[in-house]
Amino acid sequence: MGLTPDLIGAGWLWSMNVLLIVAIGLAIWQADWAQLVVERALQHSLFATIILLTLVWQIRAGLSPGLTIHILGITAVTLMLGWAFAILAGLIALLFTSILGDESLAMFGINGIVTVSIPAFVSYGIMLWERSRGFHNFFAYLFFCGFFGAAIAVASAGMTMVMVLWIAGVYGWDTLLHEYVRYLPLIMLPEAFINGTVISGLMVFHPQRLLTLDESRYL
C-alpha cells in the first residue's frame, strides 16, 4: 500500500503487529503441513505463488503515500491453497517486496493485515457462503468465489486502509475520497478479471490445484 513510517503512529503499528501475529498463529495452526510434505504439486503451487505475488506487487500506481494501487491476487491464492497457506505465502511475498524496497519493513504488520490477511479471510468467507448455498454448477464457484470474491476482497482491503488513514488523521476524508475511494470500483474490475481468469484456467486444465473446489458437488 506504499505506507511510510512517518504516516502511522506507534499505537496503530503495534496494534496491527499484534493482529498479524494472531493471524500468523492461526494460519500455522490450521495449515495442513502433512499434505504439504507429501504432495509435490502443492509445494510447487506454494512456491510459485510466492514468486508470482512478489513480481506482480512490483507493478503499482498511486498519488499519495499509503494510497498506492496494485493487484492483490490473494483471492486466487486462497482458492488454490486455502486461507492458511494463502496468508503464509502472501506474507513471505510481502517480506520479499519489503526487502526489494517497494514496501517499508516497519509497515509490515499493517501491510500484512490489509493486503494479505483481510483479502484471504474475505475470499474464504465468500467461498464458504457459496458452499453453504448448495450450488451445483461450476459457474457458481467461478463467479461467486473467483470474480465476485476478488472484487469484494480488494474493496474490503482498500476500505480498511482508508478507514485506518482517516481515523489516524493521516488524510482528511475529502482527500481519501478524491484520491482513492472514487477509484475503488475501477480497482475492483481488474482484480476480479485477473483472479477470475486464473481460476477459470485452473478449473479447466488443473482443477486438482484448487484445494477449495469440491468437484463432487458439481458432478
In this predicted model, what pLDDT tens digit does every residue of 190-217 receive, in sequence order?
Answer: 999 999 999 999 998 988 899 999 877 7
User: 3-state SS string over 171-213?
Assistant: CCHHHHHHHCHHHHHHHHHHHHHHHHHHHHHHHHHCHHHCCCC
Q: Give 1's pLDDT tier (boundaries 50, 70, 90).
A: low
**d(C-alpha 155, C-alpha 92), whole Å:** 22
Buried b (16+ CB within 10 A) or exposed e, 159-193: bbbbebbbeeebbeeebbeebbbebeeebbeebbe
pLDDT score at 216: 79
**d(C-alpha 80, C-alpha 121), whole Å:** 14
- Residue bearing the bigger pLDDT, 39 or 137: 39
Percent of the chain with pLDDT over 90: 59
Taking the domains of the chain in order of start, what are their residue ranges?
Answer: 10-217
- Does pTM surpass 0.75? yes
Q: Kindly report, residue by residue over 86-128, the tens digit of the pLDDT.
A: 999 999 999 999 998 878 888 899 999 999 999 999 999 999 9
Which segments of 10-56 are extended strands (E)?
A: none
Q: Kindly report, residue by residue over 19-63, the tens digit of the pLDDT.
A: 999 999 999 999 999 999 999 999 999 999 999 999 999 887 665
Q: Would you identify the CATH topology of the domain 10-217?
A: Arp2/3 complex 21 kDa subunit ARPC3 (1.10.1760)
